Structure 1
């Protein structure tokens, strides 16, 4: 089985790096990064990803916009939405757009690892380290 491919999308470089490090150290997967919604869509058009972990609130295209647009050409990709805005409205908006789950910032290593393993397992893509 091939390693699952995960795209991490956040306009904050420290969040992007932290998420990428958590994933690459604790889950057997290939991790790529994008710093904006626009860049995320470019990456999704170039390559097939099993999971996209993305911030909801970003300048330009929001995470919700990315999910809605990407669903048109990559329906097999799962989306895990993240946000510093811990409200039911934000979480519901992401889930209604097509995200499979939601985490609020600040992100703990354990929560990220658990959610990502669960999502990849449900899709038959998780390879235990």
Structure 2
């Protein structure tokens, strides 16, 4: 069972992911709307995994990953984005993302990414 932090500036996306995760043994321990909030919540909650949107106000998901991994190099993050562009995927992986999920979310793809990241 993994403890998961969901980060997305859109409540609909957070709820969609929560619905998918609630079908599993994993537990959603927190939600953040911005990259800054994600960094603060990560420090408090120390989740096993983070699902991170790329485009958010205040701080992008990529900057948030860099910030989290500075203090927690073992942090596991899966990037989520509506933009499946190669350049952004590469940036996310270079920043330390374990995987990448494109929106709209596909239940099977989300589960595959989670299982891979948690291994």
Poorly superposed stretches of 4+, deviation over 3 Å? none
**RCO higher in structure (CA 8 A, sep ≥6):** 1
The structure 2 residue matched to 1:84, chosen from 82, 87, 90, is: 82
Q: Is 1:30 paired with 2:12? A: no
The residue aligned with 1:127 is none
The residue aligned with 2:53 is 55
- Specify the structure having the higher radius of gyration (Cα): 1
Kindly state the Cα deviation for residue 76 of structure 1 after the two structures are TM-superposed: 2.1
Contact 1:50/1:76 (<8 A) preserved: no
The residue aligned with 2:37 is 39
The residue aligned with 1:109 is 107
Could you tell me which runs of 5 or more consecutive residues in structure 1 were left unpaired when the two chains were aligned: 123-129
Kindly state the Cα deviation for residue 118 of structure 1 after the two structures are TM-superposed: 2.1
The whole-number CA distance in structure 1 between the counterparts of 2:4 and 2:84 is 24
Could you tell me which runs of 5 or more consecutive residues in structure 2 were left unpaired when the two chains were aligned: none
The residue aligned with 1:125 is none
- 3-state SS, counterpart of residue 22 of structure 2: helix
Report the TM-score, using the length of structure 2 for normalisation. Answer: 0.94
The residue aligned with 1:20 is 18
Deviations 1:56-78 (A, max 9, x none): 11111000001000001122220
CA RMSD after TM alignment: 1.0
Kindly state the Cα deviation for residue 42 of structure 1 after the two structures are TM-superposed: 1.0
- 3-state SS, counterpart of residue 114 of structure 2: helix
Deviations 1:69-91 (A, max 9, x none): 00011222201001111110110
